[in-house]
Amino acid sequence: MKVNVNGEQQDYRTVWMEGSEVCMIDQPKLPHRFEIYRSKDYRETTDAIKNMIVRGAPAIGATAAYGMVQAALEFSGNDMEEFSNLIHEAAATLTSARPTAYDLFHAVDEIESKLRKAKSVSEALELARKAAKEYADKSAERCKKIGEAGEKFIKENSRILTHCNAGALACVDYGTALSPIRLAKYNGKEPFVFVDETRPRCQGSRLTSWELIQEEIDHSIIVDNAAGHFMQKGEIDIVIVGADRIAKNGDIANKIGTYEKAVLAKENGIPFYVAAPESTFDRRCATGADIAIEERGEDEVLSMFGIDENGNPVSIKISPGNSKARNPAFDVTPAKYITGIITENGILTYSHD
């Protein structure tokens, strides 16, 4: 991912590992500050996932894979049974961080299953590092292929609506929904992006817009409730969003508000695509009704977050003191509203009979 740091263009991944530390772009600081957060052990890594220092299903998966390495590095003995117990405890801790994003569970299961094959602790440590790096590298490669598969749906000067942040910040690199848009830009198609603000944490207005600025992609931030207006006026050609979990029947869970965008797109005859790697598919989940939906704290809804005139982070109460709030982080979009799911292996469609 291209990042302009102090006037100099640099390449960054969203998450990586240095020694025993998991390094990640500190996303709550964006777009006003670019800082790297370093977690010292798998417990801090779990907290970073829970507190959304890192977010987005593929990025969470890669971060958890590195967290499993941190757990392995903590062990100082030689007893494989004790080592396995520690790894299993770390896996349970990491997967407790957020319930909806399936990549989290996919990554932890993959690393843990590889560690079970080790015959010694030293072999397990070597396997853990190698497996986590391979997982992150493959995740980035999957997203690049998603871009290659999805770019063909973007025409010259296409006007694209996206929701939340499904860019490189939500992945190891490239992004899911933003990957086809990046490649369209690289191929000279000059896409224009309508960026839903995505309340309550405003990942669209804070993160997606920041990424598009780095790539010099033309865009406008719109309030969440304006998408239907622009669809009705014929100003949106295509919708591309990401996903946090995909059920066996093609239903998807994604950031709250995705469902209503899909219904509006269907009503207005606009193609609605989901971009996600196959690590997001939960084959054990029959339909969207089986997906656990995370509900986050009230303060995200009752307050607004930003910076003051001196550049200091502030939280401002915007609701009456006695008001309560509901804050589901995701909703489920049934497969019947989805034109196709763009994966690293091509486009999937589901029968709506």
Q: Amino acid letter at 222?
A: I
Report long-range pairs for 319-326 (Cβ below 8 Å, ≥24 apart). Answer: 324/298, 325/298, 325/301, 326/295, 326/301
**CA–centroid distance for 69 within its chain:** 21
- The alpha-helical segments, DSSP class H, found in the chain are 42-50, 57-74, 80-95, 102-115, 121-150, 178-186, 203, 209-214, 227-232, 258-267, 299-302
CA–CA gap between residue 195 and residue 182 (Å, rounded): 14
Q: Output the CA torsion sign for 274, 266, 157, 192.
A: negative
The DSSP code for 100 is S
For the chain, the farthest-separated pair of C-alpha atoms sits apart, in whole angstroms, at 67
Q: Amino acid letter at 21?
A: E
Neighbours of 29 (CB within 10 A): 16
Known active-site residue 244:
yes
Among 173, 196, 224, 244, which one carries the catalytic annotation?
A: 244
User: Which residues form the catalytic set?
Assistant: 244
